[in-house]
Structure 1
């Protein structure tokens, strides 16, 4: 398992975006043009460029993407490589694995949601309440990113399923859940929390920052 991060600020110039757009495959260009929001288009462009870079690092120079029922992309021509993408603030992250995977990246914002009990299971909210006040913000985003990475692993909708999932036992964070089966890995990177949910038992979460010069051929 590997996690790569890029800054989308480096791609904000319109002239650069136009140049990079024409380096995408025809299928990728068609998919990108479906989105009207400049912010969404920037995120998709950054994701496609980072995916191409990481795929090449692993010997996958040609691939075709398809999308699952809930929009999760996957390689239709490879059963040995899996990825997932997340975006928050100025950064975009990509998790890569030999097994299916989900990732969530969240900036630790100044304010938490006003009603965290509406977003967490009763078990996880009990765990959250036990934390010191100065730890609650990081705790909330740790719980939330673990939930979202789990749901992204299995391709479900986060807002429909969040309160049904517990990533703690009320006292401790869980490193593994069994129904369905998955392993959790979480770290703080800058002022962001990154959580990965994977089927790899012995995975280690380390973050590799990728520069613009590396992803542009």
Structure 2
């Protein structure tokens, strides 16, 4: 079953709880988190790691200390010896999001902000650039980020990341169920756009159909209180 969780990180975790939560990650992740100068960056990475651990522990029925991560040739992380547990994370602004399922998934969240849409002319498919410039004002930026999150979610799902040219495939925006088009790349995926928070766009890509009610939203304090208890073993 596909699970999609969004944690609203609108406040800092207090120092003592941050220390306790950090101990739930492995040494490599702790070292990486400690390198961040900005507290919010460190917190987002820690929350993302704990989201995956919480889901893996429950779905795989293993202890937190038994979870081991690795990466494929393109750098996509996965849980070792768990071929039926696939996940992906993303964060932007105040939000950290995670999706998991038994088959490959991808996710991307972006804060909508002013941007030079000429980037789309350079990197996107021509039909996508046309969809963007047909809009005016803020709707133009929103169209750009809808397409950007969709494209990111797809390349993350297939495991190539941005090594895959973004112009090699395209989307036609149709409400929350966009249409994917490509003659060469895998097409057995489903996509969904979420407009659940003001000023943010969220896209999910999955091998199976995505239920409209599949998004769970939780505040960072509640998440941290609950996950600290669940992962302690």
TM-score between the two structures when normalised by the length of structure 2: 0.79
From 180, 183, 193, the counterpart of 2:186: 180
Alignment of 1:119-158 (within 5 A): 119-158=123-162
Aligned to 2:77: 73
Structure 2 alignment gaps of length 5 or more: none
Q: Deviations over 1:69-109 (max 9, x none)?
A: 22211121211111100000011000011111110011122
Following superposition, the deviation at residue 177 of structure 1 comes to: 5.4
RMSD: 2.6
Conserved? CA contact 1:176–1:183, under 8 Å = no
From 28, 31, 40, the counterpart of 1:30: 28
Q: Give the number of equivalent residue pairs.
A: 211
Q: Deviations over 1:22-77 (max 9, x none)?
A: 233xxx22233045224443232111211122234435333321111222111212
Aligned to 2:14: 13
Conserved? CA contact 1:121–1:164, under 8 Å = yes
The 3 A distance-change label for structure 1 pair 11 and 54 is farther
Aligned to 1:113: 116
- For residues 9 and 68 of structure 1, the distance between their equivalents in structure 2, rounded to whole angstroms, comes to 33
Aligned to 1:195: 203
Conserved? CA contact 1:177–1:183, under 8 Å = no
Following superposition, the deviation at residue 160 of structure 1 comes to: 5.7
Aligned to 1:208: 216
- For residues 43 and 27 of structure 2, the distance between their equivalents in structure 1, rounded to whole angstroms, comes to 12
Conserved? CA contact 2:117–2:141, under 8 Å = no
Structure 1 alignment gaps of length 5 or more: none
Q: Deviations over 1:133-161 (max 9, x none)?
A: 45222211110000000111122232762
The 3 A distance-change label for structure 1 pair 88 and 127 is same
**Secondary structure of the structure 1 residue equivalent to 2:170:** coil
- For residues 163 and 73 of structure 2, the distance between their equivalents in structure 1, rounded to whole angstroms, comes to 16
- For residues 138 and 29 of structure 2, the distance between their equivalents in structure 1, rounded to whole angstroms, comes to 43
- For residues 96 and 54 of structure 2, the distance between their equivalents in structure 1, rounded to whole angstroms, comes to 14
- For residues 38 and 120 of structure 1, the distance between their equivalents in structure 2, rounded to whole angstroms, comes to 33
